[in-house]
Amino acid sequence: MVLVRVKALDRKTITQLLVVLIIFSLLPFVLGFNTYYIYLAAQVVLTAIMALAWNIIGGYAGQLDLAATAYLGIGGAISGLLLAFYKITPWIGMPLGALAAIGLAVMVGYPTFRFGIKEVWYALLTASLVVIIQRIFWLIYGSTEIYLPYFEWSWYYLRFGRYEPLYYMLVVMLVFVLWLNIVIKRSKLGYYLAAIREDELAAEALGIDVRRYKLYALMIYAGILGFVGGIYVSLTSIVTYRMFNPWLAIVIAVIGLVGGLGSITGVLTAAVILRSIEEYLRGTLGATIPGLYLLIYGLLIVLVGVLKPEGLGGLIESIRRRFRGGSYG
């Protein structure tokens, strides 16, 4: 069965992807190749990738997953530890990390969806998954940080004395994940996931194998994060139990919600804006009012919940509809 029929990309999509690619590629020039800013920009792009990966399980399939960093961490740990201990290139480590994350997704998703664990229970279950994996990692490797070997400029080991190469790798990943979001949305898989999000029982009665399609969504999400984990550890230069960060997993879900479930533009915009604000506040007011960005996240959730439950994407869509005179799409 063809799940995602890859059609010749239409011109509009190519243009959109190119615009994103160009904007993010030019960003380092705007930032004057300042090491600190490039590092922050890489964090922003990483957040956008994670939020767009989350969009597939959270936005399209409607499952409030809070385990993004479990999958990111597994991928990062595998890629990073292989490099640190065995000098195995991340180009092998990253696909292995993706496979491990997919394996974890199946281990978690199969029984979860089999027993119909949904909504709040699914959220709690996935949130605890991050903590469980974190504790397992901690039991094995303890709390010491494992450093990756240093290379001034090595594409083979993905280690650099600067952040730009990793930043550009993340940008390429971002464009890929954006493309994947667009292709899935227009495919049979995307339509089926939307039906599942809206009403599982009605979807099931239309011949949709709800469990199987939810598992597909979870596997794609986990696979992306597992792969990106390798770039993430290279960016931070360490492998640590702190990668399995429950808070970041929640932030990713919040960005997905604020962006608007299933809205590609909304999620991308929310990721860039929220993460930038967070870093800005941390940089400027972090010393005087620590944790101010937490307050901002909290307020934003309340605001979106009350004013525009469809999120930023809904806002963009309604503006678009107004200008186009009611055409949808």
Binding-site ranges for another protein (CB under 8 A): 1-2, 5, 186-188, 191-192, 194-195, 197-199, 201-210, 262, 310, 326-329
| Cβ proximity to another protein, 208 vs 312, nearer residue | 208
**Phi and psi, residue 153, nearest 5°:** -160, 95
Residue whose CB is less far from another protein, 110 or 168: 110
Between vectors from CA 174 to CA 168 and to CA 176, what angle results, nearest 5°? 110
Listed in sequence order, the residues at least 6 apart from 162 whose beta carbon sits closer than 8 Å to its beta carbon are 35, 38
Shortest reach from residue 263's CB to another protein, in Å: 11
Write out the H or E segment, with its range, that includes residue 56: none
Residue 2: CB minimum distance to another protein, A:
5
We find the least distance from the C-beta atom of residue 316 to another protein, in angstroms, to be: 15
Q: Which of 201/307 has CB closer to another protein? A: 201
Residue 293 · residue 251 · CB < 8 Å:
no
**Nearest Cα to 244, choosing from 45, 69, 67?**
69
Please state the length of the chain: 329
Q: Which is nearer to another protein, 128 or 187 (CB)?
A: 187
Contacts 24+ apart (CB under 8 A), 182-186: 182/13, 182/264, 183/4, 183/6, 183/7, 184/4, 184/56, 184/60, 184/220, 185/60, 185/262, 185/264, 186/7
Q: How far is the CB of 188 from another protein (least distance, A)?
A: 5
Which residues, 6 or more positions from 259, have their beta carbon under 8 angstroms from its beta carbon? 51, 55, 59, 266, 267, 268, 269, 270, 271, 311, 312, 313
- Shortest Å distance, C-beta 203 to another protein: 8
Question: What distance in Å separates the CA atoms of residue 3 and residue 6, rounded to the nearest whole number?
Answer: 9
Closest CB to another protein among 186 and 282? 186
Measured from the CB atom, the residue of 145 and 199 that comes closer to another protein is 199
In the complex, least distance from residue 261 CB atom to another protein, rounded to whole angstroms:
8
Indicate the residue among 159 and 185 with the shorter CB distance to another protein. Answer: 185
Tokens 């229970």 belong to: 121
Closest CB 210 distance from another protein, rounded Å: 7
- The three-class DSSP label of residue 157 is coil
Q: How far apart are CA 90 and CA 83, in angstroms?
A: 7
Cβ at position 215, least distance to another protein in Å: 14
Between 120 and 205, whose beta carbon lies closer to another protein? Answer: 205
